[in-house]
């Protein structure tokens, strides 16, 4: 679950990492009064998509009028397919240097990884291309944790101070910045652990003219599997954009993804469902959906069938079961019952193997008078033909 | 990671509906289950086997090499640590939706304790004709039959379908290794390839992957050095970008985890990549000349 900037920054704030003062607004009028309060500010589109700046969704405003004007322009935009409905109006921070900091799950290392770069304010990939030495990476032993010793080691020897002309102004002692950065990284790791993050990224982490560290943007992704034990923050995450049918599937506890084809797909297990979709395409057809009834969901086949048929583009259906944990007799019973109730007019083609196969095939013969195809490819080819 | 008939198996969560059903299936197939764990029912008997308060108690009493977990996601970390501390050599984690940080913790503990973890989110392991551990249709002779192909899969149902197609063409399996559908896994596809390369009972390897992560790219690197033929099928060619396809690990983000990248890496390593699962039998007939 992704958090937009306005939902992620309060988490940083609570973890002791400074963020700019801000107001979340939904209109030009509100933006204007927020700017009147904050002074020179930045008006930022709140959408669950990257590259907001490049799209023109982040604008500077020196006065309340300018903020209203910027807000009006951004609210009329669409960024990454998302209409802009909310804006963050934020006090403007005088930036001396921009860093990058992140903590994330690393599947290859099977461990959390802390990243820090002296090149912030740009894509981390671009930064790596520009200067590979700018990036430090620390693979964390999750049982030991990440403390000041690890942070210090990771930053070892880097000059993190203000650029020399500003340094002479003497707001901060040289070396204080490195200590502050280390403190920020430790706080970030602690937040990652406390809140079951998959990723927290601060980019840029600004060093201000007067030597303070302030998080100017933040990405936070909550591990979906941890939502049951993070009830306090799960409500703050951005809602995924779902079609009406996808939302219905979610409510039913089914994994349903709508696609633009006309051959409906119902299978058990993520891998088999993808393979069925792939075969539809490989054999010259177009799949209408991803819909799996694997794991515990195999008992929900009746609802699943109704969902697959509710898509008006579906002209034929392929049901492909290969039972391991999921029992094909239980799944077939659900399909047959739904079929008897709904009496759909589109044709359906079955392939059934694995756990409960004999009973499933018997059910299909007795109640629908149908014979499953031995090969899944033959069932799919027949469904593609019927959809034409 | 290839289970044998002699291996003693402990079932954590043996008294639940699924734990009971699949323990019965495993016992009937020949798996040597020595007992189960449920702290609330410790001291009782279930399926004619002792129920222990902890894996440590089971280790002190009858002893075991393999532990398999029928445990809900939020209790998985503690159950895994229990099995690891009790000295399990192999821990099969069937549970789906375990928080990723718990997975990393249990994998780190397993590494320190000398335990190999299979999964999470796996349907388990089958050694046809000997035993099975997990929730696979080992007893279905159309799917699992003794033979000389090693099968590795990130998905249970698709793995079963591939086995079915191999059996149809006359190829049984030396073993089936379900590595699991999570993004962070105790045993990777690459680890499983190595086990089959070293296994005297295996002539060739069928590797079933899917989009998301870099497991197939990593495996390709190792496959290039192997003596035995490897044939692959990757699910998700028709999957849209940015959507999680059922498994937590099956997601393409930008240009990462794509079908194209995986296929290219495998083909560069000399691995034949099939367009459809049904091609598996013919591909091995050609590769092994059987």
In tens, the pLDDT along B141-172 reads: 999 999 999 999 999 999 999 999 999 999 99
Q: What is the pLDDT of residues A321-331, one digit of tens each?
A: 998 878 899 99
Last residue of a domain, one of B58, B83, B118: B118
Same domain, residue pair B154 and B208: yes
Same domain, residue pair B153 and B190: yes
List B residues 72-101 in contact with A (Cβ-Cβ < 8 A): 73-74, 96-101
- Nearest-CA neighbor of B39 among B93, B78, B68, B84? B78
Task: For residue B108, give how far its alpha carbon lies from the nearest alpha carbon of chain A (Å).
Answer: 7
Q: Which residue has the higher pLDDT, A356 or B52?
A: B52
Predicted local confidence at residue B232, as pLDDT: 98
| Chain A residue with minimum CA distance to B110 | A143
Q: Which residues of A touch B85 (CB under 8 A)?
A: none
- In the predicted structure, residue B249 carries a pLDDT above the cut 90: no
CA–CA separation, B231 and B215 (whole Å): 15
Q: What would the DSSP string read from start to end of B39-57?
A: GGGTT-EETTEEEESSHHH
| Chain A residue with minimum CA distance to B245 | A270
A21-91 — its CATH code?
3.30.1490.20
Same domain, residue pair B95 and B182: no
Q: For residue A165, what pLDDT band results from cuts at 50, 70 and 90?
A: low
- In the predicted structure, residue A352 carries a pLDDT above the cut 60: yes
Task: For residue A291, give how far its alpha carbon lies from the nearest alpha carbon of chain B (Å).
Answer: 9
Predicted local confidence at residue B290, as pLDDT: 57
Is B108 domain-assigned? yes
**Residue B23 near chain A (CB below 8 Å):** no
Of the given ranges (A67-71, A120-124, B48-52, B118-122), which has the lowest mean pLDDT? A120-124
Single pTM value for the model: 0.94
Q: What is the pLDDT of residues A197-225, one digit of tens each?
A: 999 999 999 999 999 999 999 999 999 99
**Residue B238 near chain A (CB below 8 Å):** yes
User: Are A278 and B153 an interchain contact pair (Cβ–Cβ within 8 Å)?
Assistant: no
Which residues, at least 6 apart from B212, have a Cβ–Cβ distance to it below 8 Å?
B183, B236, B245, B247, B249, B250, B251, B252, B257
User: Are A324 and B157 an interchain contact pair (Cβ–Cβ within 8 Å)?
Assistant: yes
3-state secondary structure of A85: coil
Q: Which residues of B touch A381 (CB under 8 A)?
A: none
- In the predicted structure, residue A273 carries a pLDDT above the cut 80: yes
Of B97, B108, B185, the CB nearest to A141: B108
**Residue A354 near chain B (CB below 8 Å):** yes
- In the predicted structure, residue B260 carries a pLDDT above the cut 70: yes
The conformation of residue A374, written as its DSSP 8-state character, comes to S
Q: For residue A167, what pLDDT band results from cuts at 50, 70 and 90?
A: low
Residue A319 bridge partners (DSSP): A266, A350
Burial class (CB in 10 A: 0-12, 13-18, 19+), B199: middle
Same domain, residue pair B86 and B49: yes
Six token digits for residue A122: 């740009």
Same domain, residue pair B177 and B83: no
Whole-number average pLDDT of chain B: 96
A95-234 — its CATH code?
3.30.470.20
Predicted local confidence at residue B250, as pLDDT: 83
Is B132 domain-assigned? no
Provide the domain count of chain B. Answer: 2
Q: What is the pLDDT of residues B198-219, one digit of tens each?
A: 999 999 999 999 999 999 999 9
Is B125 domain-assigned? no
Of B107, B154, B214, the CB nearest to A271: B154
Same domain, residue pair B111 and B157: no
Predicted local confidence at residue A132, as pLDDT: 85
Domain spans of chain A, in order of start: 21-91, 95-234, 244-387
User: Are A354 and B100 an interchain contact pair (Cβ–Cβ within 8 Å)?
Assistant: no
Same domain, residue pair B217 and B248: yes
Same domain, residue pair B175 and B238: yes
Return the percentage of chain A with pLDDT > 70, whole number: 96
Six token digits for residue B114: 């000398």
Same domain, residue pair B106 and B175: no
- Segment A14-43 mean pLDDT: 97
**Residue A274 near chain B (CB below 8 Å):** yes
Same domain, residue pair B180 and B278: yes
Q: Which residues of A touch B110 (CB under 8 A)?
A: none
Same domain, residue pair B68 and B155: no
- In the predicted structure, residue B274 carries a pLDDT above the cut 80: yes
Task: For residue A381, give how far its alpha carbon lies from the nearest alpha carbon of chain B (Å).
Answer: 13
- In the predicted structure, residue A332 carries a pLDDT above the cut 70: yes
Q: Which residues of B touch A255 (CB under 8 A)?
A: 245-246
Q: For residue A152, what pLDDT band results from cuts at 50, 70 and 90?
A: very high
Q: What is the pLDDT of residues A67-107, one digit of tens each?
A: 999 999 999 999 988 899 999 999 999 999 999 999 999 99
Same domain, residue pair B83 and B180: no
- Segment B79-83 mean pLDDT: 98
List the domain range (segments joined by +) for residue B67.
8-118
Of the given ranges (A231-235, B39-43, B164-168, B231-235), which has the lowest mean pLDDT? A231-235
Last residue of a domain, one of B69, B84, B118: B118
Predicted local confidence at residue B126, as pLDDT: 98
CATH number of the CATH domain containing B149: 3.40.50.261
CA–CA separation, A136 and B275 (whole Å): 41
CA–CA separation, A267 and B243 (whole Å): 18
Residue B90 bridge partners (DSSP): B66, B116
- Segment A356-384 mean pLDDT: 96
**Catalytic residue numbers of B?**
247
| Chain A residue with minimum CA distance to B73 | A225
Is B19 domain-assigned? yes
Of A255, A325, A353, the CB nearest to B164: A353
Q: Which residues of B touch A274 (CB under 8 A)?
A: 158, 210-211, 235-236, 238-239, 245-246, 250
Of A110, A225, A257, the CB nearest to B73: A225
Predicted local confidence at residue A162, as pLDDT: 82
Is B128 domain-assigned? no
Which residues, at least 6 apart from A20, have a Cβ–Cβ distance to it below 8 Å?
A90, A91, A92, A93, A214, A216
In residues, how long is chain A? 388
- Nearest-CA neighbor of B67 among B128, B17, B23? B23
Does the A244-387 domain belong in CATH 3.40.50.261? yes
């Amino acid at each position: 679950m992704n958090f937009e900037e306005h939902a992620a920054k309060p988490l940083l704030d609570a973890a002791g990492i400074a963020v700019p003062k801000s107001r979340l607004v939904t209109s030009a009028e509100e933006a204007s009064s927020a700017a009147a309060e904050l002074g020179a500010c930045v008006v930022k589109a709140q959408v669950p998509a990257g590259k907001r700046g490049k799209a023109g969704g982040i604008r500077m405003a020196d006065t309340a009028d300018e903020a209203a004007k910027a807000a009006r322009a951004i609210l009329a935009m669409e960024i990454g397919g998302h209409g802009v409905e909310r804006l963050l109006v934020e006090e403007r921070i005088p930036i001396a240097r921009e860093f990058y900091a992140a903590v994330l799950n690393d599947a290859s290392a099977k461990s959390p990884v802390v990243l820090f770069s002296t090149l912030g304010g740009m894509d981390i990939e671009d930064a790596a291309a520009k200067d590979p030495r700018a990036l430090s990476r620390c693979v964390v032993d999750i049982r030991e944790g990440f403390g000041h010793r690890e942070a210090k080691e990771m930053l070892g020897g880097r000059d993190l101070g203000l650029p020399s002309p500003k340094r002479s102004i003497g707001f901060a002692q040289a070396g204080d910045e490195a200590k502050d950065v280390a403190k920020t990284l430790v706080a970030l790791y602690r937040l990652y652990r406390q809140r079951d993050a998959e990723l927290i990224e601060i980019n840029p982490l600004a060093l201000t003219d007067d030597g303070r560290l302030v998080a100017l943007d933040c990405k936070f992704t909550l591990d979906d599997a941890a939502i049951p034990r993070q009830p306090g923050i799960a409500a703050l995450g951005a809602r995924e954009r779902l079609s009406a049918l996808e939302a219905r599937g979610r409510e039913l506890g089914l994994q349903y993804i709508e696609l633009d084809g006309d051959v409906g797909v119902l299978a058990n297990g993520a891998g088999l469902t993808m393979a069925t979709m792939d075969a539809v395409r490989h054999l010259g057809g177009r799949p209408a959906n991803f819909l799996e009834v694997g794991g515990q969901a195999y008992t929900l086949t009746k609802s699943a069938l109704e969902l697959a048929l509710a898509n008006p583009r579906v002209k034929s259906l392929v049901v492909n079961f290969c039972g391991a944990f999921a029992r094909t007799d239980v799944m077939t019973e659900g399909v047959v019952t739904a079929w008897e109730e709904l009496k759909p007019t589109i044709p359906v083609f079955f392939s059934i193997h694995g756990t409960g196969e004999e009973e499933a095939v018997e059910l299909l013969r007795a109640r629908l008078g149908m014979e499953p195809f031995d090969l899944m490819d033959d069932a799919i080819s027949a469904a593609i033909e019927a959809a034409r | 990671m290839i289970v044998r008939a002699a291996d003693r198996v402990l079932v954590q969560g043996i008294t639940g509906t699924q734990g009971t059903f699949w323990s019965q299936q495993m016992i009937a197939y020949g798996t040597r289950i020595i007992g189960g764990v449920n702290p609330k029912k410790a001291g009782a008997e279930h399926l004619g086997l002792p129920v222990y308060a902890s894996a440590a108690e089971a280790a002190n009493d009858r002893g075991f090499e393999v532990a398999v977990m029928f445990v809900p996601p939020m209790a998985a970390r503690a159950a895994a640590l229990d099995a690891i501390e009790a000295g399990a050599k192999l821990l099969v984690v069937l549970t789906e939706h375990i928080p990723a940080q718990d997975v990393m913790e249990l994998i780190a503990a397993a590494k320190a304790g000398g335990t190999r973890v299979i999964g999470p989110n796996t349907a388990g392991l089958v050694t046809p004709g000997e035993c099975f551990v997990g929730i696979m249709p080992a007893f279905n002779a159309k799917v699992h039959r003794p033979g000389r192909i090693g099968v590795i899969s990130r998905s249970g149902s698709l793995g079963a379908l591939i086995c079915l197609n191999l059996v149809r063409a006359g190829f049984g399996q030396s073993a089936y290794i379900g590595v699991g559908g999570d993004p962070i896994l105790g045993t990777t596809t690459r680890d499983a390839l190595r086990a089959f390369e070293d296994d005297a009972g295996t002539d060739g390897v069928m590797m079933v992957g899917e989009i998301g992560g870099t497991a197939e790219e990593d495996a390709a690197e190792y496959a290039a050095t192997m003596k035995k033929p490897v044939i692959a099928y990757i699910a998700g060619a028709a999957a849209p970008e940015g959507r999680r396809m059922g498994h937590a690990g099956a997601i393409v983000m930008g240009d990462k985890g794509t079908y194209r990248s995986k296929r290219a890496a495998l083909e560069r390593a000399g691995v034949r990549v099939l367009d459809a699962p049904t091609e598996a039998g013919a591909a091995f007939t050609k590769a092994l000349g059987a």
